[in-house]
Amino acid sequence: MIIENGGRTQRLDFGLAQRPQKPVDPKSFAESAKAALRQVDHLQKTGDKKVGGLATGDVTDVHDVTIALEEAQLSMSLLIEVRNRVLEAYQEVMRMQM
């Protein structure tokens, strides 16, 4: 996912865009999920640090703080949507009769 904001471009790579050529290893999904969680966590912490810096006066650019918070919010929303889709798919598979 690419986020463009006022000339700044950031790529959020959750490892889901690439399609493997060989069968999927169970570890690869887990690793992708962990990487996505780490990236979202990093964006959340960055936003928190910038808000703290703004409160203490270390950061004077409100625009950067707003962008960091919006990036964190968007990444969290995306992660929640992916989680919801995975849960829906799992529930659908569990409802299948064999």
Q: What is the DSSP letter of 19?
A: -
pLDDT at 21 (0 to 100)? 64
pLDDT band, residue 98 (cuts 50/70/90): confident
> How many of the other CB atoms lie within 10 Å of CB of 75?
23
* Neighbour-count burial of 92, counting CB atoms closer than 10 A to its CB (0-12 exposed, 13-18 middle, 19+ buried): exposed
User: With 70 as the cut, is the pLDDT of residue 13 above it?
Assistant: no
For 62-78, the pLDDT digits (tens) are 999 999 999 999 999 99
Instruction: Note whether residue 20 is domain-resident.
Output: no
Instruction: Note whether residue 19 is domain-resident.
Output: no
How far is 58 from 80, CA to CA, in rounded Å?
32
- Residue 72's closest CA among 33, 43, 49? 43
Tell me how many domains the chain contains.
1
Question: Which structural domain, as residue segments, surrounds residue 58?
Answer: 2-13+25-95
For 14-60, the pLDDT digits (tens) are 555 555 566 656 678 888 889 999 999 999 999 999 999 999 999 88
Looking at per-residue confidence, does 27 or 91 come out higher? Answer: 91
Instruction: Note whether residue 74 is domain-resident.
Output: yes
Model-level pTM? 0.66
